Each structure stands twice: as structure tokens, then as C-alpha cells.
Chains A and B, each alone.
Chain A
Amino acid sequence: MAYPADFKYTKEHEWLKIEGNTGTIGITDHAQNSLGDIVFVELPKVGAELASGKSFGTVESVKAVSELYAPVSGTVAEVNEALGTAPEKVNTDPHSAWLIKITLKDASEVNGLLSAADYEKFIAEEQ
């Protein structure tokens, strides 16, 4: 699966899409593939404050629990409630099945994230 060039990525395998002052966050194809069948997603409530690099929830496959880390700081503006009943969407369409949308606190934090090419190189080295 191709990694969209307009996303930013983290070494913890989250993706971030920036539109104006809003950031949309999900997990990468590599992440869902490593996890296997996803059966549970635990996400913060609207209004929760996220700090860059800190855990904001979990995604669970049948076998494992994995923490989600905020790529940047911000305030939760929207949560993808559909994942409550259909968490498997994260497996089938990881780059569309977003988890949360946040209002960015400091747009300059984005500069520290990986480009699609950097991320692809990073996961190739991880193998």
C-alpha cells in the first residue's frame, strides 16, 4: 500500500494529515499489518488535550495492545465513532480510517515529523 505524500508520519507508526489548523490522525498500513486483526480501539473524548509524543489511546488486535502516541500537540475536535462498532476498518483501509481530528496547538511541531519517503525508508530499515 502506498504512503500518501501529503501525510506526515511518526516512528511510532501514526500518520498525520494537516488541513489548515486541523490535524487528522490514524495509524499506518505497516502498523495495522504488524498488529493483525484489530478488534478494539480506545480513543479520547472531544475536548481532551493531547501532548506531542504522549499516549492518547490504544488500539488492540486479537493478540496485542498497542499504545497510540500523539504526533503533535492539540485539542481533540472529533472522534471517529464508527470504529467503535467496526474497528476492522483500520485493517482494510488504514489511511482513510482516521482515529481522531485535533486542533493544532503549535503548527511548527509538524516540522519534526517524517515525510512519506522518510517513513518508507524507516520501516524498510526496521524489517
Chain B
Amino acid sequence: MSASVEASEVRKTALNKVHREMGAKMVDFNGWDMPVEYPGSGGLIAEHLAVRNSVGLFDVSHMGDIRLHGPQALAAVQHMTMNDAAKLSIGQAQYSALLYPQGTFVDDVIVHRLGENDYLLVINAGTREKDFNWVRGSAEGFDCEVEDLSDNYTQIAVQGPNGWKTLQKLTDVDLTQVKFYWFTHGTVCGLPNTLIARTGYTAEDGFEIYVPADEATSARVWKALMDAGKEFGIVACGLGSRNTLRLEGKLPLYGHEISDSITAWEAGLDRFIKMDKGDFTGRAALEKQKAEGIKRTLVGLEPIERGIPRDGYKVFNLDGNEIGFVASGSYGPFLRKNIALAYVPIEQSQIGNEVAVEIRANRVKCKIIPVPFYKRPKKA
């Protein structure tokens, strides 16, 4: 057995003590000391299933929050993102991305329209500084303020079909009136003007709330949510289940499905690329790539033989030629099978096509299957 633990100066969220009190296994995640799983919740698979079947609670305070406000805030957001932010009503959120001029990813983001000329971009933890600098640089020349609010908030995700019922006990806002990918402000645990968003990263229904980032308040809200969810069997969830949940739902992760060397077309995010909204950074490169033909694309794999394809593993065709790589792969706890997302040439990407993934000394046959691997059941 081999195991390695890296020790370095890491950052902590306001809930760090709470995680440690709960006996969470902690890991260094992009410079953050974060819970990977909670033995008290039953471990990663139990956490994953709790979110699919009922409700789970995540500390996602390591995510970054950038506010753009001022007369030209919309113009700035439109210039730096690929989706059409002009379509957002106040109180609506949108999946989008910041692109380099090459059409590749700075990061993916959730854009929230807070007010008339007021937007909030929620960004990844691992790319916080890079993203903030990029956003500030992209906003230059526009009459708009760029503020890094990342350290102001503790962000807690209440995810799963019973997420809304759990949160409803702690707020006077009628959560049934908040549609998926919309948000509102209201009192939560006695904290007025709390941002309550029906968003998440689990492929389930759920909410993300933003409360002041002091330890006492954060701990109080976390514990109140754990109590409120008790009747639904709520468990605390770590980054381990967060990753397997997003993988089953084919939600991209920076450094895996999206990166500074993968374009938005290749990542299959066509639905979120609005070529007709006017110019934006990366648009010209995307237009050129579309005209010349996209060479590779992201597909879902399921091994036909024994083995777990994992990120970085090489993909071969059945003639033995290397054709691509695995972006993410794992055992899918809800699906109870091994799954992976991989980049392969477009002409070999059809459903049913067989490829081989190199797992240590073996070439393990996999077939291309439809994605997302998991879709949440539609409410009757």
C-alpha cells in the first residue's frame, strides 16, 4: 500500500473547525484545507447516495465571487463571457464561461444578475486569483467596478430532492417560487438579505446560500441546516462525493473537461455559446474552428472489461493507435458502474463505438455511451 500526504500552508474556510469537529478527512484541494469525506456520514458512497435520494450539505466557501457593477457592467460581462447575459432577468443565473482569445477556457462561471447594472460571477476555487485578474483585465475600458467578494461569504450547498424542504424550515422565503437557476434574497436563520440560489453542482435540485464568512455565523447556519435536515437523513458531504455527483451528471471540472487547451466547442458546451450575441473574447477563434471543423469531442465511456478509467489515462482505438485521453473517470456510486469522460477524435465519437483505455499494463475495452450518465427524474 502506498499513500502520500502533502503538507503545505493551506487556506481554510470559516467552517474548517466544524469539519474537523465532525471528524472529516481533510485534503489539500488547490491550496484549500477541505473535507474530502466524512466517516460519520458513512463515507463517499453514502454521501453521494444521500444527495441522489434525499439531501446532503456541502461547504463550498472556497469558490470565488466576483461582483461587477456600474453603468457598463452588462457590456463588460458580455465582452468576457460566451453566453448571452443580456437575456438574464434580475434574479436569474446562467452557466457561462470566460474564454481566452483562442476560444479555450479561463474558467467556467455562473453569472447572476443581481440588479439593473449589477452582476455576480461565481468561479472555481483553484483558479480564483487567475480568474479575478482576468476579469479585472477584461473589464478595463468599461465603466464598471470589479470587486472580489470571495472572502466575504461562506457558501453552503444544500443539494438533493429534499434540499428545498430542509432549507424551507430556516427561511420565510417561499422556496417553491424560486425556479431552477434563479435566486432571491431573504432571511435565513435570522440573517437578513441572504442570497438564496437554486443552483448546484450535483445534477440534482438544490440550493446554494451565501452567508457572512465569520466562524460563529457560519457554524450556526451549518448546524441549523444539519438539524433541519435530520428528518430527511441529511449528511455532510465532502469533495469526494461532489466530484462523483458532477461526473455522473457530466458537469465539467476545470483541469479535466475544460482547460486552457480545450475549446468551448470541443467541450460540447454548444448550448451555452451564443455566437449571435455580438463580439466576445474567444468568439473569432470559435468561429474559425467551426468553419475549419472541430477535431475532437468529449464522450462518455463505460468499460466492457474490468477496470476504472481515470483522468490522464490514454485512450487507444482498437488498432492500437493512441487517439485521446480520459478527462475524468471513477466508479459512479448511483449508477453502480465505472464511467469516464474522454476526449476522442470526432470521427470516432459515435455512440456504441469501442475504444481501449490504458489502465496500468492493460488495455481495457470501453464503449461510448450517451451522456449525461445520470439525469435527475422530472417531477410528476
Which A residues are closer than 8 A to B by beta carbons? 10, 12-14, 27-28, 31, 33-34, 36-37, 39-40, 42, 58-63, 65-69, 84
How far is B2's CA from A66's CA once the two chains are assembled, in angstroms? 6
- What are 22 contact pairs spanning A and B, CB under 8 A? A13-B1, A13-B3, A27-B1, A31-B3, A36-B36, A36-B37, A36-B44, A37-B333, A39-B308, A40-B338, A42-B306, A59-B1, A60-B308, A61-B44, A62-B244, A62-B333, A63-B36, A63-B240, A63-B243, A65-B310, A66-B2, A67-B1
Q: Is the CB of A58 within 8 A of B360?
A: yes
Given contacts A36-B43, A62-B333, is CB(A68)–CB(B310) below 8 Å?
no
Partner of B1, one of A36, A40, A62, A66: A66
Closest 8 CB pairs of A and B: A13-B1, A39-B331, A12-B1, A37-B45, A31-B1, A67-B2, A62-B44, A37-B43
B-side interface mostly:
mixed
The winner among A33, A63, A84 for most chain B CB atoms within 10 A is A63
| Residues of B contacting A14 in the complex (Cβ-Cβ under 8 angstroms) | 1
| Residues of B contacting A31 in the complex (Cβ-Cβ under 8 angstroms) | 1, 3
Residue count of chain B within 8 Å CB distance of chain A: 22
| Residues of A contacting B306 in the complex (Cβ-Cβ under 8 angstroms) | 40, 42, 84
How far is B305's CA from A84's CA once the two chains are assembled, in angstroms? 12
Q: A68 → chain B, closest Cβ, in Å? A: 7
B330 beta carbon closer than 8 Å to chain A:
yes
The winner among A27, A34, A37, A59 for most chain B CB atoms within 10 A is A37
Which residue of chain A has the shortest Cβ distance to B243 in the bound complex? A63
| Residues of A contacting B333 in the complex (Cβ-Cβ under 8 angstroms) | 37, 62
How far is B4's CA from A13's CA once the two chains are assembled, in angstroms? 13
| Residues of B contacting A84 in the complex (Cβ-Cβ under 8 angstroms) | 306
Q: B183 → chain A, closest Cβ, in Å? A: 31
Q: Is the CB of B308 within 8 A of A12?
A: no
Q: A60 → chain B, closest Cβ, in Å? A: 6
| Residues of A contacting B45 in the complex (Cβ-Cβ under 8 angstroms) | 37, 62
Which B residues are closer than 8 A to A by beta carbons? 1-3, 25, 36-37, 39, 43-45, 240, 243-244, 306-308, 310, 330-331, 333, 338, 360
| Residues of A contacting B244 in the complex (Cβ-Cβ under 8 angstroms) | 62
Given contacts A60-B308, A62-B244, A65-B310, is CB(A40)–CB(B2) below 8 Å?
no
Q: A122 → chain B, closest Cβ, in Å? A: 13
Q: Is the CB of B2 within 8 A of A12?
A: yes
Which residue of chain B has the shortest Cβ distance to A12 in the bound complex? B1
| Residues of A contacting B307 in the complex (Cβ-Cβ under 8 angstroms) | 40, 42
Given contacts A62-B45, A63-B240, is CB(A34)–CB(B360) below 8 Å?
no
| Residues of B contacting A10 in the complex (Cβ-Cβ under 8 angstroms) | 1
The winner among B2, B44, B244, B360 for most chain A CB atoms within 10 A is B2
| Residues of A contacting B44 in the complex (Cβ-Cβ under 8 angstroms) | 36-37, 61-63
Q: B26 → chain A, closest Cβ, in Å? A: 13
Given contacts A39-B308, A62-B44, A62-B45, is CB(A34)–CB(B3) below 8 Å?
yes
Q: A17 → chain B, closest Cβ, in Å? A: 17
| Residues of A contacting B330 in the complex (Cβ-Cβ under 8 angstroms) | 62-63
Which residue of chain B has the shortest Cβ distance to A88 in the bound complex? B45
Which residue of chain B has the shortest Cβ distance to A10 in the bound complex? B1
How far is B43's CA from A66's CA once the two chains are assembled, in angstroms? 18
| Residues of B contacting A13 in the complex (Cβ-Cβ under 8 angstroms) | 1, 3
The winner among B25, B307, B331 for most chain A CB atoms within 10 A is B331
| Residues of B contacting A58 in the complex (Cβ-Cβ under 8 angstroms) | 360
How far is B364's CA from A106's CA once the two chains are assembled, in angstroms? 35
Q: Is the CB of A66 within 8 A of B37?
A: no
How far is B39's CA from A11's CA once the two chains are assembled, in angstroms? 24
Q: B307 → chain A, closest Cβ, in Å? A: 8
Q: Is the CB of A62 within 8 A of B331?
A: yes
Q: B235 → chain A, closest Cβ, in Å? A: 14
Which residue of chain A has the shortest Cβ distance to B3 in the bound complex? A34
Q: B122 → chain A, closest Cβ, in Å? A: 25
Which residue of chain A has the shortest Cβ distance to B36 in the bound complex? A63
How far is B244's CA from A63's CA once the two chains are assembled, in angstroms? 9
| Residues of A contacting B25 in the complex (Cβ-Cβ under 8 angstroms) | 36
| Residues of A contacting B308 in the complex (Cβ-Cβ under 8 angstroms) | 39-40, 60, 65
Which residue of chain A has the shortest Cβ distance to B37 in the bound complex? A36
